[in-house]
Amino acid sequence: MAKRFDVRRQNGFVSLAILCFFLLYLPIATLVVYAFNDNDSLAIWKGFSLRWFHVAWNNGLVIESSIRSFQIAAVAALLATISATMAALATTRTNPYRGLTFKYAFINQPLMVPEIVTAVALLIVFSRIKIWTGYSGLGYLVAAHTAFCVPFAYLPIRARLESMDLALETAAADLYATKWKTFRHVTLPLLWPGILAGLMLAFVVSLDDVVITEFVKSGGQDTLPTYMLGQIRRGVTPEINAISTAFLLLSIGIVTAFFFVSRKRT
């Protein structure tokens, strides 16, 4: 009998895989290791120390921009997830019609349009609105983040809705549940893992956005990523490594927490 084709048995596959993981994780590992470097220079190891974490913690700008990042991400992710849930329901709980595919593309547009294009467009539109209204708060950043977060929240929610047995909703209607009650007692509880996954994705995507934020933000509205970008221009100290490491741990923490919550739900 001929051996079944298995990509793992191809020559060089294992070494190639190891190389890929190496290239992927070595820089991150280096970054994390040097965050603990007790030296002003980034490149020369002097000894282990938490000095740079301390410096970052006492840097008012770091804390301020971090808080701003989280505020924007929290609000934008929430709004994006709500919109995405409604969009997913509207595009799955319907008979296919002409133009439905176009709607998918339309909703997912932020994934396809180059970010820089969106950023420039938003910059132009928002600067006009700023002149007309005089408002220059965080609203612009929240609006921009919400917009590009929608497809990230939409995809897992739609996937979940599509894999759901439609007979469940029919059964609920058969058992005297109105449309709203069907949604509340059957669709929504079963959709939760998808919604949580969408929320998490949207949150993380908003948290590390640079391009759109850089273009849209007003003076003094740095988020953590744009602050770091600004710092690097001035010369790098291991403080950047320390901030990045903290950021990394936080992201891992959030993702893990969401993972466990959503797994418990299913």
Under DSSP, the state recorded for 2 is: P
Give whichever of 172 and 242 is closer to other proteins, judged by the CB atom. 172
Give whichever of 96 and 134 is closer to other proteins, judged by the CB atom. 96
CA Rg, the chain, in Å? 23
Q: How far is the CB of 107 from other proteins (least distance, A)?
A: 24
Q: How far is the CB of 260 from other proteins (least distance, A)?
A: 18
Give whichever of 4 and 98 is closer to other proteins, judged by the CB atom. 98
Site residues, other proteins (CB under 8 A): 165, 167-168, 170-178, 181, 185-186, 189-190
Residue 63 near residue 57, CB atoms below 8 Å: yes
Residue 193 near residue 100, CB atoms below 8 Å: no
266: helix, strand or coil:
coil
Q: How far is the CB of 93 from other proteins (least distance, A)?
A: 14
Tokens of 130: 């700023």
Give whichever of 79 and 157 is closer to other proteins, judged by the CB atom. 157
Q: How far is the CB of 261 from other proteins (least distance, A)?
A: 15
Angle of helix 139-163 versus helix 60-92 axis, rounded to 10: 40
Distance CA 139, CA 254 (A): 24
Residue 37 main-chain phi, psi, to 5 deg: -80, 130
Residue 125 near residue 143, CB atoms below 8 Å: no
Q: How far is the CB of 165 from other proteins (least distance, A)?
A: 7
